[in-house]
Amino acid sequence: MGGSFIILSSMALASCSWIPSVQPRHTADLGRILGTGVQCLLTPSSEYKPGTVFRIDDKNVSYFANRTLRDRLPLHPPADAAVGILRGKQDINIGLLASLLTLSQPGTDLASIHASFNQTRTIDAELEGVKYETTDDTDIDQVMNWFDAYNYKRPGSKYYVVREAWLANAMGLKITKNLKIDFGGEATFDKIIKVNPTIKYDPEAEYDLTKPFSTPLRVCIKPEELVYDAPGATGPTYKRVEVRERLNIVKQGVDDE
C-alpha cells in the first residue's frame, strides 16, 4: 500500500481518556496510523465488533465462532477517534465496490462485471466520520475463559479475537480508468452512476466518488491471535498475541455457532 496521511481533531482525546493517542505521520499502511496491530478490512462490515472470536482456516476462509456471547458483551459508545478524515492507499475488493455502486439496479450488465468481483485493487480512498470502539478488559477476559473451554476448535485454523474496532460513516474513492473497466467499461459505469441517487460523483474532485453508508460500518480492526500457552496450575491455557501480518481472508463462511 502507498503513502497515507491523517487529519486530526483533538476534541475526542480531551473527552475520552481511553481513546489511544494518534500522531500524524506518513505510513505505508492505513491501519498503522490508528495503532500497532491495526488493519483495515477489505470490505467495511457490520460484523467484527470488539469481543468477536473468528477463525481462518487453511483455505483462508473466515468463520465466526462466538456470535451469541459476542452480542451480549457491552461496548463503550463509539466515540470520535480523533480522526477527521482518514485518507490514503486502500486495498479494496471489487465486489465491495459493486455493492457500493448498487449494481443490482435494473439495466446493469452484470455479466461483464462478475469476473472481477473476487479481485482486489489498491486505490486512493478516504474514510469519513471515523469513530473508535472498544470494550473493557474484564469482558475480553470473559471471552478468553469461553475460548479456553470451547471444545470445537478446528484443527488447521487460527483463531483471533477483535480487541478494538473503527467505524466510518462514508467512503470516498478515486475512480480510475482501470476501475471503470472492472465495471464493464465507461458506458456501463456511467449508467450505474446515473441510476443511484445516493452516490455523489464529481470527476473534478480528488476523491470523485463518495458513498455514505446507511449505517456506520467497521472499516478497521485490531485482531489478536489466540495462541495456546503451556498451562500452569491455574488460569487459562490461551493467551492473546499481537498480529503483525496482514490477515488473508478469501471469503466469509457460515458461522460455527
pLDDT truncated to tens, each residue of the chain (257 aa)? 333 322 222 222 222 222 232 333 333 456 767 778 888 887 788 999 999 999 999 998 999 999 899 999 999 888 877 666 778 777 777 776 777 666 444 444 554 555 567 778 888 888 888 999 999 999 999 999 999 999 999 999 999 999 999 999 988 888 888 888 887 788 888 887 887 778 888 888 888 988 888 899 998 999 999 999 876 656 678 999 999 888 887 778 888 87
46 occurs within a structural domain:
yes
Q: What is the pLDDT of residue 12?
A: 24
CB environment 98-123: b (16+ within 10 A), e (fewer)? bebbebeeeebeeeebeebbeeeeeb
What DSSP character marks residue 27?
Answer: B
193 occurs within a structural domain:
yes
CB 50 within 8 Å of CB 44: no
Residue 198 CB: number of other CB atoms within 10 A?
A: 12
- The span from the CA of 89 to the CA of 201, in Å, is 19
Q: What is the pLDDT of residue 118?
A: 72
- The span from the CA of 182 to the CA of 112, in Å, is 8
Q: What is the pLDDT of residue 24?
A: 31
Domain count, the chain: 1
Which of 69, 64, 1, 52 has its CA nearest to residue 30? 1
Listed as own residue / partner, the contacts of 239-245 with beta carbons closer than 8 Å and 24 or more positions apart are 240/140, 240/144, 240/161, 240/163, 242/36, 242/37, 243/37, 243/39, 243/160, 244/37
Q: What is the pLDDT of residue 237?
A: 87
* Amino acid letter, residue 179: L
Q: What is the pLDDT of residue 81?
A: 72
Which of 18, 56, 13, 15 has its CA nearest to residue 137? 18
The residue whose grid cell reads 457500493 is 100
Q: What separation in angstroms does the CA of 231 have from each of 135, 210, 225, 237?
A: 26, 51, 17, 5
153 occurs within a structural domain:
yes
88 occurs within a structural domain:
yes
Q: If you write DSSP's letter for every residue of 179-222 in order, what string do you get?
A: HHHHTTSHHHHHHHHHH-TT-EE-TTSSS-EEEEEEEEEEEEEE
Which of 47, 44, 35, 54 has its CA nearest to residue 161? 54
257 occurs within a structural domain:
no
231 occurs within a structural domain:
yes
Kindly report the pTM of this predicted structure.
0.75
- The span from the CA of 173 to the CA of 162, in Å, is 27
Q: What is the pLDDT of residue 14?
A: 26
108 occurs within a structural domain:
yes
C-alpha cell at 252: 466469509
Instruction: State which residues form the domain around 124.
Output: 4-252
110 occurs within a structural domain:
yes
